[in-house]
Amino acid sequence: MSKPRVVVTRTADQAPVFCQKLAAAGFTPIAFPAIQLEPLPTALLEAALQKIHTFDWLVFTSGNAVDFFFKQSTINNQQSTINNFPKIAATGSATAQKLNVLGITVNFIPDKFVGEELVAGLGNLTNQNVLLPRAKRGRPEIVKLLREAGAEVTEVALYDTITAVPTPTALAQLAQGFKAITFTSPSSVRNFLKIIDSRPDRFQKPVRSLLQTTVITCIGPITATAARDLGLTVTLMPTQYTIDSMVQELKTHFPTVGQDAVLTGQNSVLPYEKRNPGD
């Protein structure tokens, strides 16, 4: 029995872990990174770190924000100043785990891993200062809600999300077909479709046709909304907004998959050139 081919649209640095989990579950993962992350100048971060003791909350809404925050603050030899920060909030378990690995205690994680739930859980933030390090094109709703709760918000753009450039091998692998595709952020949806629609008709039309019947799996409601707004029909969305839960949803949807799955590390196709050291 052939293993269902599942497309992974995460960055080139993040795709391998997801691919390994899919391979272990009995799928054939196809890494097709739709986005890449580019670090931004650190002047705003340096300024925020100089006065980090004045903030009441440091809010991380993604694992990428954690990565870039500590990578860049380490460069400035100021990572230890975080110990003076009283409270840290993380949108989800994966983000919190990254912080825990660094020895950072997370004070608040919402039950549902979306920014709106995080802000609601923080409650009244009147006269409290919030530092929000994140992507340049982060969702404006989070800042709006924090300010509506009374907070003074300092945004620090750490990185930008741009469209990845596929190799001919990557495009060929995608054109061979797939049974499911996974999206873990609105930007991965937008940029995947941007890549597809920028190709000649002989490629674009067959892939677009596949998207009409394939199992589209989104990590959570924000990503699912972005997919629907772009004309896609979302098939699966886990109740727990994590990669592991996405894999479990796919296993449930394809019940015969994984009966003899063995993780070999050779099932995933990684046809992209890594053009950016940061992710």
- The predicted pLDDT at position 146 comes to 94
- The predicted pLDDT at position 1 comes to 61
Q: Which one-letter amino acid corresponds to residue 174?
A: L
Last residue of a domain, one of 139, 162, 185: 162
Query: Does residue 109 sit in helix, strand or coil?
Result: coil
> DSSP per residue over 208-255, as a string?
HHHHTTSEEEESSHHHHHHHHHTT----B--SS-SHHHHHHHHHHHST
Residues 134 and 234 occupy one common structural domain: no
Residues 88 and 177 occupy one common structural domain: no
CA distances 171 to 143, 203, 218, Å, are 37, 8, 22
- The predicted pLDDT at position 137 comes to 86
Strands (DSSP E) found in 136-197 = 152-163, 180-183
Residues 108 and 187 occupy one common structural domain: no
**CA of residue 244 relative to chain centroid, distance:** 13
Please state the domain count of the chain: 2
Residues 147 and 231 occupy one common structural domain: no
Residues 57 and 25 occupy one common structural domain: no
Residues 93 and 28 occupy one common structural domain: no
H-helix segments, 55-138: 63-75, 93-101, 115-122
Residues 155 and 174 occupy one common structural domain: no
Residue 269 counted as domain residue? no
- The predicted pLDDT at position 275 comes to 35
Query: Which residues constitute the domain of residue 90?
Result: 38-162
Last residue of a domain, one of 162, 181, 214: 162
- The predicted pLDDT at position 234 comes to 98
Residue 10 counted as domain residue? yes
Distance CA 171, CA 184 (A): 20
Q: pTM score > 0.85 for this model?
A: no
Residue 44 counted as domain residue? yes
Angle at CA 274, nearest 5°, toward 268 and 275? 155
Residue 265 counted as domain residue? no
- The predicted pLDDT at position 271 comes to 42
What are the phi and psi torsion angles at 241 (to 5°)?
A: -85, 70
* Sign of the alpha-carbon torsion through 45, 48, 53, 56: negative
Place of tokens 């599942």: 6
Last residue of a domain, one of 162, 178, 195: 162
pLDDT by position in tens, the chain (length 279): 689 999 999 999 999 999 999 999 999 999 999 999 999 999 999 999 888 889 999 999 999 999 999 888 754 444 555 566 679 999 888 899 999 888 888 999 988 877 788 889 999 999 999 999 999 988 888 999 999 999 999 999 999 999 999 988 888 899 999 999 999 999 999 999 999 999 998 899 999 999 999 999 999 999 999 999 999 999 999 999 999 999 999 999 999 886 654 433 344 444 433 333 333
Closest Cα partner for 131 from 61, 71, 40? 61
Distance CA 239, CA 110 (A): 13
Write the CB contacts of 162 (distance below 8 Å, at least 6 apart in sequence). 35, 36, 37, 38, 191
Q: Which CATH number characterizes residue 12's domain?
A: 3.40.50.10090
